[in-house]
């Protein structure tokens, strides 16, 4: 099993969610996050005091998939979240050792 964490733009969330659901992904977790990469932050000004805001707000989508579906999921997210501009985000993939469905106690791929 693989855990896919995709950092994307706010307004791409709906596209990514729909595309993944169409590909048979049955669940996901979404978080509002802040961070920076190559995209620069911005400046905020409050009554003459300027603040450099380095951490840009983004959305993190977490999806857990069986290993054989990984490539489809990665392609799907990439296509749905892409604008071609700096700041589109990144996808991180890691191995996942266990999943448990709390209601039934099932574990492994069936619990995803």
Partner 1 sequence: MPRWGRRAARCSAALTLAILVFLGTPAGADEPAAGPSPSTAPAAEAPKLDSGDNAWVLTSSALVLMMTGPALALFYCGLVRKKNVLSVMMQCTFLMCLLTVIWGLYGYTIAFGEGKWLGDCRYLFMKGAQAAWKDGKPDIPLYPGLTIPVMTHMLFQGMFFIITPALICGAFAERMKFSTMVVFMILWGTLVYLPLAHAVWGGGVLQYGSEHAKGISAGGALDFAGGTVVHISSGVSALVCALLLGKRLNYGKAPMPPHNMTYTAIGAAMLWVGWFGFNAGSALGSNGLAASAFTATHFAAAAAGLTWACLEWLLRGKPSVLGTCSGIVAGLVCITPASGYVTPMPALLMGVAVAVVSYFFCTVVKSRFGYDDSLDVFGVHGIGGTLGAILTGVFATRATGAITDPASLVGKPLGLLEGGPLLTAQLIAVGITWVLALVGTFVLLKVLDAVMGLRVSREAEIEGLDLSQHGEEGYIFI
- Residues engaged in binding partner 1 (CB under 8 A): 44-49, 51-52
The token duo for 50 is: 């300027």
CB-nearer residue toward partner 1: 1 or 30? 30
Smallest distance, partner 1 to C-beta of residue 57, A: 14
CB-nearer residue toward partner 1: 45 or 110? 45
The residues, ordered by sequence, that sit 6+ positions from 71 with a Cβ below 8 Å of its Cβ are none
- The structure tokens 């802040």 sit at 34
* Neighbouring C-beta atoms of residue 74, cutoff 10 Å: 16
Smallest distance, partner 1 to C-beta of residue 32, A: 13
Q: Say how far apart CA 90 and CA 75 lie, in whole Å.
A: 12
CB-nearer residue toward partner 1: 48 or 84? 48
Smallest distance, partner 1 to C-beta of residue 94, A: 26
């Amino acid at each position: 099993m693989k855990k896919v964490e995709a950092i994307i733009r706010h307004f791409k969330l709906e596209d990514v969610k729909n595309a993944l659901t169409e590909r048979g992904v049955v669940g996901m977790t979404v978080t509002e996050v802040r961070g920076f990469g190559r995209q620069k932050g911005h400046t905020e000004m409050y009554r003459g005091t300027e603040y450099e805001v380095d951490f840009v707000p983004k959305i993190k989508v977490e999806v857990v998939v069986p290993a054989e579906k990984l490539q489809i999921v990665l392609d799907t997210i990439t296509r749905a979240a892409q604008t071609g501009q700096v700041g589109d985000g990144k996808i991180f993939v890691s191995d996942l050792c266990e999943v448990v469905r709390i209601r039934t106690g099932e574990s492994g791929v069936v619990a995803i």
